[in-house]
Amino acid sequence: MNPTSQHSIRWTAGRAVRIAAVAACLGLSSNACRVEAPERTQAEERARATGYRGILLADAEPRPDFVLTDVDGDALDFRSDTEGKLALLFFGYTFCPDICPVHMASLAAVKRDLSIEEQRRMRVIFVTADPRRDTPERLRDWLGNFDTDFVGLRGSEAEVDRIMLSLGLPAAIRDTAAGPDYAVGHASQVIAFPPGDGFRVIYPFGTRQADWQHDLPRLLDP
């Protein structure tokens, strides 16, 4: 929810109300469902308790094991290709008018402040929840507006939903009946998998750049 998307989404009032209501119930994001930013003090209080301004999940589960296709048509094994690196995983879509571009812009800005060596040790992975419209070319171009090193992945809707569910996220809601400008309700958090795994840190929409600046060095060297 900030840099505006390249395409506006036109909804009928009835569909907008219906999707927004479902999204609110499931904790999803949509262009009709704004997620309030966490208070700065909440993030700082978390940091005092856990060392991270994001939400620490000390579940010791390994990073997910899935294979999807990148924008060049090559298979990418998430677990093996990000092993030993900080992986920041997000599910969204390029027609998103708010949450997706804000997350990507924030990560791109903070990444530029890191050293070259630190940048090489992190991967930002964007999995599209809208493979019908997010072609490889569109996904590459859209991510390139933020950082050309950001990785875009595609799979079938069923594959992507299955991965989200395995991570404890709700499946996407695609209102394709609304026509070509349909919206997609999707989980709004970035999931951080530090090197060595053992825990995850969740960054909801509204995470500030200052919070990323605080946490990224700690995530790179936990």
- CA dihedral (198, 204, 206, 209) in degrees, to 10, reads 20
Residue ranges of domains in the chain:
13-220
For CA atoms 137, 107, 148, 78, the dihedral sign is negative
Task: Give the mean pLDDT per block of 10 residues along the chain (222 residues).
Answer: 36 34 40 45 70 84 92 97 96 96 96 96 98 97 98 97 94 89 92 89 93 95 86
The 86-92 sheet, strands edge to edge: 55-57, 200-203, 190-193, 86-92, 122-128, 151-154, 67-70, 75-77
What is the structure's pLDDT at 177? 87
What is the structure's pLDDT at 62? 83
Which pair of tokens denotes residue 125? 């992975």
Angle ∠(192,73,61) on CA atoms, nearest 5 = 25
Task: Give domain 13-220's CATH superfamily.
Answer: Glutaredoxin (3.40.30.10)
